[in-house]
Structure 1
Amino acid sequence: MNADLLAPYDLTGRVALVTGGAGGIGRACVERLAAYGATVAISCIDGLEDPDAVRGGFGDLAVTVHPLDLRRADSIRRCIAEVADRHGRLDVLVNNAAVGSATVAAFSDDPGGQDSLMLAINADGTLKMCQQFLALPGAPGRKLINISSVGGGIAAFPGFRLSDGMSKAAVSFLTRQLAAEAVHAEVDVFAICPGATNTPMFHASTLSKLSRKDLTAFLSRLPKGRLIEPSEIAALVHFLSSPPSRVLHGAVLDASMGLGVRPGLMSEHRIH
């Protein structure tokens, strides 16, 4: 492809931090950003994941791994500062790390405690990550990209866990509010709200509970009759990380292939 056409999307010299970058959407983002020249740092769960093991999972791909506990302000400050010190700058923050209805069980088996953790990690943790990133002395053209969800971030779905939807709605609101306050600043702020995506988290929370017959019916009723692939969300993250995305400052993108405009598709399917 013509180098001039690729130039606006070349991320050479840029440093990106992708939280929760070891799998799913996060890993796809890491691979995409690195492929276009970015230096990429990722987070691992402080105290639960071994940074060396996470790093080894990327093979020859050059990434740095930094412990992060989104429940603790000191861990958030340390993670952001560590990345900036290690690489001399931090240009792009992708707030991808979160817990869902299935994965929150790794932290608590109490439903009430899980609800509190969902809000603490997904909403308050993202808030503090944004604040620390924006407090850094940064060069022009920095990008802040929050990953929310079509559930809560765009639309309401019957049966969707309240704390999960609330936390994703909070991320969408946070994005708009920060964008409003930074409309004259040298930083662009966005959110992406994926729909049903082919990730381990979605498999654990939803797909693994379905029989083969129900799974086939469920997938057939999704927009376009399929799951979204993590690489498709990563392509959006790449675009938002590049200079041409500036005109979308403040956008909360519905990346659900139409589920956000027809949320009834989820309730139209009935498991018998």
Structure 2
Amino acid sequence: MTADLLSPFNLTGRIALVTGGSGGIGRACVERLAAYGATVALTFVEGVEDAARVLAGFGDLPVTAHPLDLRDADSIRRCIAGVAAQHGRIDILVNNAAVGTATVAAFSDDPGTQDSLMLAINADGTLKMCQEFLALPGGPGRKLINISSVGGGITAFPGFRLSDGMSKAAVAFLTRQLAAEAVHDEVDVFAICPGATNTPMFQASTLSKLSTETLSGFLAGLPKGRLIEPAEIAALVHFLSGPSSRVLHGAVLDASMGLGVRPGLLSEQA
């Protein structure tokens, strides 16, 4: 895959920051944006992941890695300032880093603490990332892309963890509010709300708990009978990163392959 300099999808000369870029949707975004010419900075979990190991996972891909703890306002400021200092500016911010029901358990085994962490990381952390990015001096064509979820960002599912859904609903609201305030500014603001996506997080929170027979039925009941692949979400991020997306300013995109408009689909199985 090579960038065509005449293509509206060419990102040569653009600086992108992808949070949580070492795996899942984030990794797919890093690979996609870099393939189309962007200089990409990614974040890893400060105090948990190792920069050298994260970078080694990308081989020869020219990316930089930066520590980030979304619970810590100072860490957020250091991350944004560090990327801007190293690369001169940030043109595209992809707020992808988040925790889910399974991954938040790595921080605490207490359900109440987990709920607080879910809101602190997914909602408040994303808010502060947006604020720091928007406070930077920047030229035309800047893009702010938040990753939310169909659960909370688009609709409600019975049994979906309250704090998880609340945090994703907050990201969708944040996107609309920032877009309203920036309607005359040189920045475009969007959110993407993926459905059931083939990521390690979804594997840990849902798929790993299903028997072989139950898993088969679960997958068959999904829209189109399959999981969404991270590369498909990355393709949307790529489009939103380019000039053609401007008319979508403020859009909260349902990227669930139809689950958002038919949330009872899984319960309709015979």
TM-score (norm 1): 0.97
Structure 2: distance between partners of 1:38 and 1:181: 27
Corresponding residue number in structure 2 for 1:171: 171
Would you say the 8 A contact 1:157–1:266 is kept in 2? no
Structure 1: distance between partners of 2:213 and 2:6: 44
Specify the code of the residue in structure 2 equivalent to 1:204: A
1:4 Cα deviation (Å)? 7.3
Would you say the 8 A contact 2:4–2:10 is kept in 1? no
Corresponding residue number in structure 2 for 1:56: 56
2:139 equivalent to 1:143: no
Corresponding residue number in structure 1 for 2:238: 238
Would you say the 8 A contact 1:223–1:259 is kept in 2? yes
Secondary structure, counterpart of 1:163 in structure 2:
helix
1:51-130 equivalences under 5 Å are 51-130=51-130
Corresponding residue number in structure 2 for 1:47: 47
Structure 2: distance between partners of 1:228 and 1:213: 20
1:120-269 equivalences under 5 Å are 120-268=120-268
Specify the code of the residue in structure 1 equivalent to 2:142: R
1:152-197 CA-to-partner distances (Å, cap 9, x unmatched) read 0001000000000000000000000000000000000000000000
Structure 2: distance between partners of 1:44 and 1:68: 6
Runs of 4+ in 1 over 6 A off after TM superposition: none
Specify the code of the residue in structure 1 equivalent to 2:259: L
Specify the code of the residue in structure 1 equivalent to 2:10: D
Corresponding residue number in structure 1 for 2:37: 37
Structure 2: distance between partners of 1:26 and 1:56: 16
Corresponding residue number in structure 2 for 1:22: 22
Structure 1: distance between partners of 2:25 and 2:59: 18
Structure 1: distance between partners of 2:149 and 2:227: 14
Would you say the 8 A contact 1:151–1:168 is kept in 2? yes
Structure 1 unmatched runs, 5+: none
Structure 2 unmatched runs, 5+: none
Structure 1: distance between partners of 2:218 and 2:261: 18
Structure 2: distance between partners of 1:33 and 1:103: 26
Task: Summarize the Cα distance change of 1:269–1:77 in structure 2 as closer, same or farther, 3 Å threshold.
Answer: farther
Structure 2: distance between partners of 1:41 and 1:4: 22
1:13 Cα deviation (Å)? 0.3
Structure 2: distance between partners of 1:267 and 1:256: 16
Structure 2: distance between partners of 1:229 and 1:38: 22
1:241 Cα deviation (Å)? 0.2
Structure 1: distance between partners of 2:10 and 2:116: 40
1:27-77 CA-to-partner distances (Å, cap 9, x unmatched) read 000000000000000000000011111111100101100000000000000
1:268 Cα deviation (Å)? 3.6
Secondary structure, counterpart of 2:183 in structure 1:
coil
Structure 1: distance between partners of 2:116 and 2:204: 20
1:269 Cα deviation (Å)? 5.3
Secondary structure, counterpart of 1:266 in structure 2:
helix
1:207-226 CA-to-partner distances (Å, cap 9, x unmatched) read 00000000000000000000
Q: How many residue pairs were aligned?
A: 270
1:219-252 CA-to-partner distances (Å, cap 9, x unmatched) read 0000000000000000000000000000000000
Identity of aligned residues (%): 83
Corresponding residue number in structure 2 for 1:8: 8
1:126 Cα deviation (Å)? 0.1
